[in-house]
Structure 1
């Protein structure tokens, strides 16, 4: 809770700007005094007052403001209530952050919003919430790639680290964190007992105790001139700026600001930043072409302890790894068996499998990682193996090479051509540019792969990892409890990056193994030698295990035969196993001479780890052969396919650098429409045989599906840059919509008013055009609704608008037109994966190539506003300690992992928009063209009988 208090001096840098009124109050009413000052500052008498920082210059706030139910000191959470009971007043609140300047040893304050009103009123106050002292911020609010799969942004104009959703731990482990963590959920910054003095509520700050509360004081001030306060942090240009008090973007005229504010108040809830004008996204992930030298594959097996068992009350932390997790506690999962396989890419003889069974297997696994980091660094990373003597074929390859094997660009002369070799094996790799060769360094990252890391395995050992490893931990969070990935950096510089194979291959390990040919299980074969054909077929299939039965460690020894079939029942899914699965488990037990359940779990774990290794290595080899990129260098399939697309197409996508262009495009983003127009329909026709009733009217039901709808849309002409607003008086007036062809080198987004004539309402009743985000009757939540209402200021792609006009809608007015350059730059990549999909030999490959295409569309629709900021800290006091983050006004919530670790989620105060969302918006609109065309042709033109659409889900197929 972050409250206003009595007077706190402004930093000298802010005082010098003469933009803030800091009222010297002695009570906890700084918020009220600042609001009164804002209301009265427009008054002529108020302007003449020199002592604007004195409370005596204003009437007491309690005589002007409605404070019913408001408790002082004021908190951010109470401001919405204050605005509700004072309907003529609106409030924005800003904070100061101390950041390093570009010059050495310089620091400056940055202003960012932390609370923005939902509706700006006539009486409006911009307040600055300052604190007693400031620490330099770590700049983690800026976002980059959803998966952080390499920085593809050229010259994005930001000097901070661009790790999306990332956070880092403090490496020092202070002993006072345990005591401090007890304050997190009980913290309440309350004043001492109220005392009446001259009809004012006055408080003595000296009475505030630090016991049981975070001892940080805040104070509200009035911002009398926002432009003067933030102008220099936005631009060094000294011309007069009209600044938007929501997104902190500036304009050179009042009219432009007013036009901008119409959209801004609906979309922006914090400060926004943009790359420099002209910045582009292009392929730069050359390092990710290099196969990772080492990959670790791991898995755990767990005891499933009943959460209602009273004997478990002694367990302080649950299986999710979080002491105060929001999850419902159904079972406690306690790991008892751990195994991993180290795969070496350049020398398979180095690869090995290792396992350990015991209730301390989590500690064992973390200790193994620490040991591996030391061993691998000393043996392979500390020294570079010189290049071996080249064979005649390799020499011929080098002399005849005309293109660099790294960047694939041609050599200008023989001087810049050098020999590139593997620094681990010494083998020649190809001819390269000298600069490319120097930058093509060996990766210091070792991927650690688990199947379902985010949802399961990661929670088992992350506490132990944080406790034992003293290095920095970077998070890529979904939220404060679930992570896409996390990376530990050891003192020697090696990084172990934990990734989830399920985010690349969205299938169970059982299905993935069933799709593979037996000849591809090279790792399984190498670690299960001298097996009969029957035994190999058994072990290369995902095993069956009685998880619910294994609720105590003693059963691993005492159970000397396979448990009965009823013990394989899964109480979580409420399913039993089939007779075939049970017979498989029984055959495995007998064929491998299993003595007890412990040995069975060892075999089950080993086969799981090795099957995962074989499946993912096969996936890596396939991707390397097709896309020349190693997927383990990425966090997930979307990041991988996005980079592969940039590499294959060689496209350069311009980044938006104009706030109005961004909001214009965002308003045009409307997803697939899913609706049920008729709740029930029953077929009745002669093809139903005995169920046909000739006395009733005939009725037919048909299910229609459009395959590869989004693939088709992505193959069309799409924007890639050259954004330009058309002039209202000349270009828009002369703009002829139907003269623009679908394959024109210029495309357009239009903001228009459309009328839906009543004469086509019946025809369009079951599938109206131009869906829009609106609140359904009786709901406060916006949905995508297809209605027959006329549309106002509707943003639409020109081809979609052409279709709407053709189908009978009337174009009444054009407000704005955004022009862009376009081409079919994505078509070749879509066609490549579509062709590979048709050549696929199993269901997994067919689904995989479909996902690879669709994931490109997903990346173009990445919503940076939803990215999370999570801090992972291991100490209480000091810079970047838990107390520092929790005391920030943008603190959101926290999860305690153990006495030494806490995850803290922060509200975003700043967003860097560096994604080409205009591509996704156009793909959505173009896909609706083909969808509507298909429905129109099939339902309204091809059939003579009356056709009714009663269910319309748009699915990506």
Structure 2
């Protein structure tokens, strides 16, 4: 029998119900699809957004080569004065997404961090509203129509002076075709003249591919030309702006080369192309890259000699043998550009300060079993060389609930009987209901004269250990379970310093016991 009676109330809803993606029809022509992911009892916005990532990845990643994606999160806030419910939409910007981008890094930066930052800013403005519910995440992927390729335009001086790119002088919108022909049918002189490639125009099949061409048609071009593969690269400044094909651009900005379209398989007939946005328009122009090493070397290293680039991830090597070894591994993964941390971000610092707090509750458990002989021996599999002769039958279970803040909530429970596992699960649910009430019963701040003096003289935040600036808002941080004053803190640190509602259940040798239970 149990040493203490426990309430048998169960939870009505579980927080970890599987999320589902729901497609919605759209009246906008460029909108590929509108997806909605509804919430199931998750109260933390960041946790909900992280849970949504697998569905986001599945439904967005394979849509198009180039997209613009915007998301918004629907909250319901409650006014404590009038008890009126208000719907608040917090959205992310419509950002470009390419197939070469790392989708997890893109989602973390442009969705999770962007929406979470706006949510924190909304709360810091002292809106007076209390979050009641997170309703849903809406995802709106749009076709990136800006990436169409057109007529000849002058190269920026910083690229033209490298003499590693050829621009075909054409007056039509078929620059992609002329750049590919320039690579496949090289000439010795006047490589920029269109007349050198007119005679090879019918050698390529562009049936079903409109001009100006969009990036999504490059895959179709490769299917129509077995034995030909195409890679396309662009140039971005560090602030995310694309380098534009005009001479009066700012030359002293730091820029990087970005893979936009990488062929799944590289053939001997393989042109590398560079794409630039034209001056003050949404039309893009193709150029043929004659020497990838000369074009990209100075933006990555001060090495003066020729280096060898991996065309998929743009890592560079000083010998061709090292490149071959690298390529054997690189071909197994998706084509992504490797980005090294900057001087400002090369040091990783601990930021999840809420993890410094002790958990309010922890449960320790143990199960005892007895060996019962088999009356009929089960048939072993063909791969097994052992025969089971006994089965583990649980007959006793014990657990100790420990409360960090108040010993009166700590207790020891045990039970003997063949139904001990049912007793354990039933009472574990009952204990969790008691803990939920404990979590909801938050205590107000309690301060004595010494605490008030300490707060007035505090120079550093007790959470992040950084000094207060004159523009910082200082707040009084306290324990929500005891009401005790813990110290002075930044307002943003205090908002993120939330007590954990996770209750770990720790068992002795549970990994082995699960095999038998």
Same fold (TM over 0.5): no
TM-score range, shorter chain: 0.3 to 0.5
Q: What is the TM-score with the length of structure 2 in the denominator?
A: 0.43
Which of the pair is proportionally richer in helix? Answer: 1
More strand by share: 2
